[in-house]
Amino acid sequence: MDWLGVYAEKIMKKVNIKNFKKSLSKFTTGVTVVCIKDDNEVYGKTVNSFNSLSLDPPLVLFSLGNYSSSIETYLKSKFLTINILSKTQENISDHFSKKNPDTNNIDFIEGKHNTLLINGCIANLECKIADKIKKGDHIIFICEVINIRYDDNLKPLSYYNSEYN
Ligand SMILES: Cc1cc2nc3c(=O)[nH]c(=O)nc-3n(C[C@H](O)[C@H](O)[C@H](O)COP(=O)(O)O)c2cc1C
């Protein structure tokens, strides 16, 4: 091994779940809650794997663990909302990161396609699910954005190093 290899060996960490999660936590993200309605049951999940994908057509993506308790319901949905949380909605993020969170006391606004938008968000995207790709232990949801709502006066909730900022 040359000197560069020896140096790299010293400073690089092993790729295991703990180190992998820790390194990814160094990437600052926003926080979203992805909501679906199945019959009259409402589901929401805190998600920070959200990202933009395409401008034309307008596509976004996020991923869900295939081990999630409600994954089957998300997989059979046609429409969903991606609710981008504002600075004051840390409690909403914590709430929707629990298993089977109660949705009765959430301030929802009706969307156009039997969907629900969370009120007070910095932005809400109403989406049609365009594709689902299984990769590793997650499923990537590719979504076409069909309706948009945003508020220029709010500040975003961000997440870094496993903490809200
Ligand atoms: C800030 C934050 C971001 C998260 N992002 C994701 C994500 O992108 N994908 C995912 O599957 N779970 C994510 N989670 C975990 C889920 O919100 C939730 O804890 C988990 O899905 C609950 O278990 P269940 O799905 O089995 O009910 C995140 C949690 C937090 C606190």
**Is residue 92 situated within a structural domain?**
yes
Q: What is the pLDDT of residues 68-116, one digit of tens each?
A: 999 999 999 999 999 999 999 999 999 999 999 999 999 999 999 999 9
Ligand 1 contacts (CB < 6 A) are 31, 45-49, 62-65, 68-70, 93, 97, 99, 159
Among protein residues, the one whose CA lies closest to atom 9 of ligand 1: 64
Q: How many helices (H) and strands (E) does the chain have?
A: 4, 12
At 17, the amino acid letter reads I
> Candidates 68, 96, 135: which one to mutate for ligand 1, based on the most atoms within 8 Å of Cβ?
68
Which CATH number does the domain housing residue 78 bear? 2.30.110.10
**Is residue 23 situated within a structural domain?**
no
Q: Ligand 1 centroid to 15 CA: how many Å?
A: 22
**What is the rounded CA–CA span in Å between residue 142 and residue 1?**
43
**What is the rounded CA–CA span in Å between residue 33 and residue 58?**
19
Q: Indicate the number of domains in the chain.
A: 1
Among protein residues, the one whose CA lies closest to atom 5 of ligand 1: 47
**Is residue 12 situated within a structural domain?**
no
Full residue range of the structural domain in which residue 144 is found: 28-164
pLDDT band at 152 (very low <50, low <70, confident <90, very high): very high
> Candidates 31, 33, 47: which one to mutate for ligand 1, based on the most atoms within 8 Å of Cβ?
47
Q: What is the pLDDT of residues 23-51, one digit of tens each?
A: 999 999 999 999 999 988 999 999 999 99
**Is residue 67 situated within a structural domain?**
yes
Give me the pLDDT at residue 60, please: 99
Cα dihedral: 35, 54, 62, 112 (round 10)? 10
